[in-house]
Every structure is written in structure tokens, then in C-alpha cells.
Structure 1
């Protein structure tokens, strides 16, 4: 299952390797957890970190969506019940597996691409490359 997830993520990242932002979200809005992926381009003249600061202060992801255009997405195609075996308990262990899987697939992306992970509507996101809370300072 982990290889299936890595293959799906690798395929997505290869297709969208030159975008400004890749957002990865664990979403449970339809049933069990799914891994959703979005590729974004930042609007010319807009600043990613400024938008993310507004998200943090206002607890509203809409401030991020205001500065980006979707280039591609993959939603509700990657089930995660085998990773989060006792959902919603022990989420941290599943997150570690997902973050490691994402990190191992990230080499195709430009180092300038923001690559982050979070649960739907949750803050703060995790920077995949350093596996820490995203720095928005």
C-alpha cells in the first residue's frame, strides 16, 4: 500500500514538477482518510508567506487560495485506511509515514517549490522537505 501511495504521489509530482506550490491534504470529508494533492501557481506579484501568515492569523485557508491558481489536482483517489489503521486514533504515526513517503518522492520538484502537508482545515502545515512546521516568518 505504501508503494501504491508513493507511486501515485511520484506520478503527480513528475507531472507538476515546475509549479510554485504542492499542497498535500489528508481529507476525511467523504469517508475514511484520503490523500489529496494540488499543484498551484502563485499569482504574479503575490507572496506565498504573506498569504500563509493571513491563514494563520485568521484560521482561514481562503487567504492561501486567494493568491494561487490551480494547475492540477488528484482528489479522493488515494485511500489511506491502511496507513491510518485505527482512524481517528494514532494520527501522528500515520502522519509520519505519509510525510516520509512524500519526502522520498520530492526529488523531482524544484527546490523553489513550496511542498507542504496538513489535514483538511488544520494548522500548521508541515514542510515536507524538513519535516517541521512550516516557517512563515
Structure 2
């Protein structure tokens, strides 16, 4: 079977042309325009109506207000100061290194193995040394 035979099977046997006739039986010159005119008109009217509806609501919304509550900010400042001033260090009862609270090593120590010292000096006095991957916050 050649390509020509396959093409003959695939291509349509008859050529069909669609035409539109007017009341007098004459062929209309712009049938596609008439079909699309109503669709395009409806789409434009709907889009215009939607846009006008959206614009009519824009000015009627209440503006956003941000209220300042001094009590909340006092509590936040106090907790930040307390966090910064706490110089606790954590050691593992099985280890020889101490870690600051913000270090990754401190987060890996299990709760039952944690020992908390009030300062790095007290941890060093107990024989612990600073972990190599941990440094105090500036």
C-alpha cells in the first residue's frame, strides 16, 4: 500500500461548502460576521456591566484601620528584653560541651538529658567547654 492509497482513504470524498442565503435566495456576502456579531455584542455588554458593577462598589468599602494598643507592645518589649538578658547555657549530662539556647546543638539534646546553667562561666567552672559550632549572639 503506497502513500497515495493511504491519502485517498484519509481525505474526504466530497468537498462541502456552507453558504448562507438571504430571503431572495441569493448568497450572503458576510455570513460569518452575522454569526459572530451577536456573540461579540453579548460578551462586550456583559464585560461592560461587570466593570461598571465593580466600579460602583469600590468607594463604598470601609478603609482598614490599624489601632495601636500600648499594653501589647509593653509585653512584647518586656519578653524581648527577658530573652536577650537570659544568658542560660545548656549541657547534656552525657557530654562535655555547653551550648547557648539559640544553637542547633541545644535543640538536639533530649529534655531528660538537659542540664541548665545560669551563665557560661558557671558551665566552665563545672568542667564544660563551649561547643565549636556555637557562639554567643552579638
TM class, shorter-length: under 0.3
Higher relative contact order (CA 8 A, sep 6+): 1
TM-score, normalising length from structure 2? Answer: 0.17
TM-score, normalising length from structure 1? Answer: 0.17
Higher strand share: 1
Higher helix share: 2
